Every structure is written in C-alpha cells, then in structure tokens.
Structure 1
Amino acid sequence: MESQVQWVLNNGPWSFDNLLLLLRRWERGMTVNKVTFTHCPLWVQVWGLPFDLFSEEVGQEIGRGLGRVVEVDWKGSNSDQARFLRIRVEIPLDKPLRRGSQIMNPEGDVVWVAFKYERMFSFCFKCGRIEHEAKLCEMPWDEEG
C-alpha cells in the first residue's frame, strides 16, 4: 500500500547487519549505475539549548547548518519537560557528522549545543563519517576535529 511505502521512506534510517540501509523509491528506467545516495534524512537532537531559544525558527537555523531541513519537531518543546529540540535534516553523506555547534542568543552570549543522531547505528566517533567505525578509521586520534 502507498501509505506503508511512505511510512517506510519517512521513518528511517534503517539498518541491515548494523550498517546504514538507505532506500529510494523505484523509478522507471532506474539502473544500479544511475542510483546515487548523497543525503540521509536523520532526526538530530539538539541538547543544551537555552530554554528561551526553543523555537521552530532556531531549529530551522541550526538545521540549515547541518543540511536541508525537513521538519522541526517542536511538539516536545512545548512541554515543561523539554530537554532537547528535534530537527529532521537531510545530512550530506560526504561530510562528517558534527558533534555540536556554538550558537549565539539575541543578547550575544555564545553557548555550545550537542547533537545526538537518532537511530544512527554505527559511525566513526574519530572522523565523524558514516561509512566506518572508529576501530577501522585511518585518522590518528590526535587529528580529531
């Protein structure tokens, strides 16, 4: 059913054998040589955000620094229990995942916020790449950025 296909496409990322599994809708004329995956839609949790910056606009701005913003989930941020802001972003696969970012509030104060990637099964904590884990990374620990 179309609704089930949409659910699968919208609720990833998925994994197989603890590796990222990217899916794409079939198109007429599609061949293995024509299929490329350049982005992966992920939910990113933003931790450490000051309460006065919990808004859809701030989520959009932070998300644009990571990739193309798909959605800002701010249902949870409307509660008194909000601990993080969620942003669904199409992350470029050729760039390292970022651990966090500095943001500035309207008064000019700078604060560090941490990013947690939901359902990210394995990626390298040394270089931030999705294609391997730290134990297989060729980057020396002292070059970590």
Structure 2
Amino acid sequence: MDWVLQRTPWPVKERVLQLQPWEPISRSVVESFSFAPFWVQMWGVPSYCQTTAFRLRIAQGKLREPMETGLFEIKGMPGYFIKVRLMINVNEPLRSQVYASNPVAGKFWVTLVYEHFRYSATILVD
C-alpha cells in the first residue's frame, strides 16, 4: 500500500486518481485534496545551471517547496533534465513555463512537463 501511495497521482482512463490514506478525524474533504504530489520535469536549463542549489532555487522560487529533486537523462538523447517532486495545487492552472536567470546564462525559459498528466504540454511514457 505504501508503494501505491508514494507514487500517487495515478493516470486512470485519461483522469488523475489521487489517493491518500484515510484519517477518521481529518480536515474537510475539499481541503485534503487541494494539493497532489507531481513529478515535474524541467527542460531547457543550461548544463552549467543544473546544480542541486539551482534546482532547489528555481523550484522554491517559481513553483513550491520540492519534496525530492534529481538530474536525469533519457537514453539516446543528449543532455540531462531536472526533475522535482512538488505538491501542486490542483485548483490552480498548471504553468507550462517559468522564467529563470543565472549570472552566467542570463535569463531563459524553462519548460515544465508534468509526468503522468495528459494535459501538460508533453505526454511522457515511463
């Protein structure tokens, strides 16, 4: 059961299924399902900006407090992309890009891709 809860939300028939453990005495149902954890991929970050400090700074400053963060690569594709796990407010529109800056790189756009979520700019398959 922990494995299922840690990997929520789940895509089911083109919908997002958010699972949480049941608590007999809890907040209202609406409040408890306002936020859901999502893996968000960040594309377009220059390689010399892909440090842990920069990942945390861009996630905290532009999105929300990250739960996890990492640097990943896809076989057959050059370069790496940043991946962060965030609690996203499901009642607000998703952002497709954020504007970031670095003293060396200057200002640049970072494309956001929400894993397992059909309505983001890109659909990904694990």
Q: TM-score, normalised by structure 2?
A: 0.78
Who is 1:26 aligned against? 22
Q: Give the match's secondary structure for 2:104.
A: coil
Kept in 2, the 8 Å contact 1:39–1:92? The answer is yes
Q: Give the match's secondary structure for 2:110.
A: strand
Change (3 A) 1:100 1:122: closer
Q: Where does structure 2 lack aligned partners over 5 or more consecutive residues?
A: 122-126
2:109 to 109, 112, 117: 112
More strand by share: 2
Q: TM-score, normalised by structure 1?
A: 0.69
Kept in 1, the 8 Å contact 2:46–2:105? The answer is no
The structure that has the greater radius of gyration is 1
Q: How many Å apart are 1:69 and its aligned residue? A: 0.9
Give the superposed CA RMSD.
2.3
Change (3 A) 1:38 1:68: farther
1:11 to 7, 10, 29: 7
Q: Give the match's secondary structure for 1:121.
A: coil
Who is 1:54 aligned against? 50
Identity across matched positions, percent: 29
Return the alpha-carbon distance in structure 2 between the equivalents of residues 58 and 111 of structure 1.
13
Return the alpha-carbon distance in structure 2 between the equivalents of residues 111 and 121 of structure 1.
25
